[in-house]
Structure 1
Amino acid sequence: TVRGVALALREETYVEAAISLGASNSRIMAQHILPNLFQYVIVSASLFVGAAVLLESVVSFLGYGVQPPNPSWGRELNDAREELARYPHLAVFPGLFIFATVWSFNMFGDALRDRLDPRLRGSN
């Protein structure tokens, strides 16, 4: 969670050094905590989007999500269940699009984490 990362950053030596030099709490937050926390928030947000797409698809598949006439991949999958034996492509393509979208957002979040995490910058 963001709070856990912020608490871990508070224990870093550079924050303790700023405290010992008499820096105010707002200065420590602005110069030391928030810049390092920003990376975590960006990566978490990109991973959250993939989870939100999957959640919306599941809720719409169950019939509680987006209502007609608005399009939803989950509702398209639900509609395709009845015709799955004769027309399997009706379920294959929405399922592939859900998979590709969630996978893309997760790979994007992973790439952002690799790019922004200072502990991983020197590796590979």
Structure 2
Amino acid sequence: MSKPLLLILGDQLSLTLPTLRQAPEGAVVALCEVAEEARYVPHHIHKIGLFLAAMRHFAQQLRDKGFNVHYSRMDDADNTQSLIDEAERLARQYQCDEIRVTRPGEWRLW
């Protein structure tokens, strides 16, 4: 049976996301705070704080609905600070056989 890592991006905080709607049992949902994303263009510090708060609340909402969630905080010692590297690290950690993601809204993430 497939055990995917479902990578949820910061602008995809919705229970109707196809990646979540089609989640098989045993899937690991990953939300990752990474410096690479927080710094790719200048943002006001309050905007970053609100964005991270929304991600943290959504992660808890997913847990409350029974999803197996891994939330990488920016200050975690083992956080790679790169979205791709963090997804690969978590896939190895949880022994996932694939990484799934809903198409990003930004071309730079494709």
TM-score (norm 2): 0.30
Which entry has the higher C-alpha Rg, 1 or 2?
1
Q: Which has the higher helix share?
A: 1
| Larger relative contact order (CA 8 Å, sep ≥ 6) | 2
Q: Which has the higher strand share?
A: 2
TM-score (norm 1): 0.27
